[in-house]
Amino acid sequence: MTEAELKFFIDVVTDYFQQVSGVGASMGIPYVKKEEAVVLSYTGLIGISGPRKGGIYFTAGPALLSTLMGEILGVEEADEDSLLDMVGEISNTVAGNVRKSFGTEFLISVPMLIKGKPDDILFRLKPPVFVIPINWRHERAFLVVGLE
Amino acid sequence: MKLMIVDDSSIMRRAIGKYLSVLDLELAGTASNGQEAVTLFQKVLPDLVTLDITMPEMDGLTCLEKILRIAPLAKVIVISALSDPQTGLRALKLGAKSFLPKPFTETQLVEEIRRILGGVK
């Protein structure tokens, strides 16, 4: 993945939080994932097919997801189904929005919603896997991208 | 006037429903995939449909074609994260009245609905 492509992912995430909440997210310095696990409590994984095979996932803790839900619905909820639904919607929106840069052959799956930290989450991601740290309202999240 | 909301995310279905509280519209029903939406459409015959694209079972553009076969004058707003211009153009060519990329604001959605339905307050 090129630096310009990585920047596009960062811009899409920044725009998402700004549009939904009026408060933009700040991005940490992206890095290439090594052995360490980069998975928080709730994860939405999108499989990518077409010329750029691989996957994208957004992972976050309950506080960030619940607060964001409050921005959208006017009420913060913390039940399991709502938190998973929220993380899936963020993943889907980010993956769908990057088609503005990657084009219509960047085919995205419906989100696979994951609670906890399964061992096999990286199987769909193609190395090198890039990690984009995200901070929003003092809560952290990660966007993780691995594409051919 | 009756509205039907189709999205696989319950948060988005609820968000769209909440945004509509400022309009004089009745919620006719919701569906979480294209197949459910076609069945529900035939049952409730809404005045307006908001339709997501990326959904399990049947995607939104296939659903749009089926709805327009049932009711060629149906008014459908396609709302999708697939925000590239080609996808929006395809939805419009298939017969959608509007294409709204996610994420969107309450104001954007309400303005589109007012534009399409005309007399809605």
* pLDDT at position B20: 81
* pLDDT at position B21: 79
* pLDDT at position A125: 82
User: What CATH number does the domain located at B2-117 have?
Assistant: 3.40.50.2300
Q: How many contacts does A have with B, using Cβ atoms within 8 A?
A: 61
Higher pLDDT, B121 or B36: B36
pLDDT, chain A, mean: 91
Any CB–CB contact under 8 A between A85 and chain B?
yes
* pLDDT at position A47: 93
Closest CA to A42 of A22, A54, A57: A57
Query: With a cut of 70, which residues of chain A have pLDDT below it?
Result: 119-123
Answer yes or no: are the C-beta atoms of A89 and A8 closer than 8 Å. no
Q: Do B101 and A72 touch (CB under 8 A)?
A: no
Q: Do A69 and B87 touch (CB under 8 A)?
A: no
Smallest CA–CA distance from A13 into chain B, residue: B103
* pLDDT at position A127: 86
Handedness of CA B16, B20, B22, B27 (dihedral sign): negative
Q: Do A93 and B87 touch (CB under 8 A)?
A: no
Tokens 């992912």: give the residue: A9
Residue B114 confidence (pLDDT) above 80 = yes
Residue B119 confidence (pLDDT) above 80 = no
Enumerate the residues of chain B whose CB falls inside 8 A of the CB of residue A85. 9-11
Across the range B17-24, mean pLDDT stands at: 85
C-alpha distance from B9 to closest chain A C-alpha (Å): 6
pLDDT digits (tens, 9 = 90+) for A34-77: 878 899 999 999 999 999 899 999 999 999 999 999 999 988 88
pLDDT, chain B, mean: 94
pLDDT band at B29 (very low <50, low <70, confident <90, very high): very high
Across the range B96-110, mean pLDDT stands at: 94
pLDDT digits (tens, 9 = 90+) for B41-78: 999 999 999 999 999 999 999 999 999 999 999 999 99
Tell me the CA end-to-end span of chain A in Å, nearest whole number: 8
Q: Give how far Cα A129 sits from Cα of A6, A30, A46, A59, B13, Å.
A: 11, 10, 14, 14, 33
Domains of chain A: 3-147 (3.40.1550.10)
Residue B115 confidence (pLDDT) above 70 = yes
Enumerate the residues of chain B whose CB falls inside 8 A of the CB of residue A56. none
* pLDDT at position A123: 65
Q: Do B103 and A100 touch (CB under 8 A)?
A: no
Question: So where are chain B's domains?
Answer: 2-117
Q: Do B83 and A99 touch (CB under 8 A)?
A: yes
Answer yes or no: are the C-beta atoms of A103 and A5 closer than 8 Å. no
C-alpha distance from A22 to closest chain B C-alpha (Å): 10
Closest CA to A148 of A80, A74, A53, A78: A53
Any CB–CB contact under 8 A between A48 and chain B?
no
